[in-house]
Structure 1
Amino acid sequence: MAKYEGGCAHVHVTASAEPIDNHECHCNVCKSVTGQHTTHVAFFNHADLKVDHPEHIKRVPFNAQNPDGPLEICLCTECNAVLMLDDKQKRIRVAVPNVMGYDDAAFPKATYHAFWDESKGYPAPSDGRPVYAGLRPEFSWPAGA
Structure 2
Amino acid sequence: MSHTFEGGCEHVHTHTDHNPIDNHTCHCSVCKSVTGQPTTHVVFFNHDDLAVDHPEKLNRQPFNANNPDGPLELCTCADCGTPIMLDDKQNRIRVIVPNLMGYDPSFPDSTYHAFYDPATGVPRPNDGKPVYDALRPDFVWPQGS
The TM-score, its normalising length taken from structure 2, stands at 0.98
How high is the sequence identity, in percent, across the aligned residues?
Answer: 65
Q: Structure 1: how far apart are the matches of 2:108 and 2:60?
A: 27
- Confirm or deny that 1:99 pairs with 2:78: no
Counting only pairs closer than 5 Å after superposition, residues 1-145 of structure 1 correspond to structure 2 as 1-105=2-106, 107-145=107-145
The TM-score normalised by the length of structure 1 is 0.98
| Aligned AA (2:36) | G
Structure 1 SS opposite 2:68:
coil
Give runs of ≥4 in structure 1 deviating > 6 Å: none
Please list every run of 5 or more consecutive structure 2 residues that lacks an aligned counterpart in the other structure: none
Q: SS where residue 48 of structure 2 aligns?
A: helix
Two-structure CA RMSD over aligned residues (Å): 0.7
Question: How far, CA to CA, are the matches of 2:69 and 2:84 in structure 1?
Answer: 20
Take 1:39 and 1:104, find their aligned partners in 2: how far apart are those partners?
A: 14
Q: CA deviation at 1:16?
A: 2.2
Partners of 2:7 and 2:120 in 1: how far apart?
Answer: 30
Structure 1 portions without partners, runs of 5+: none
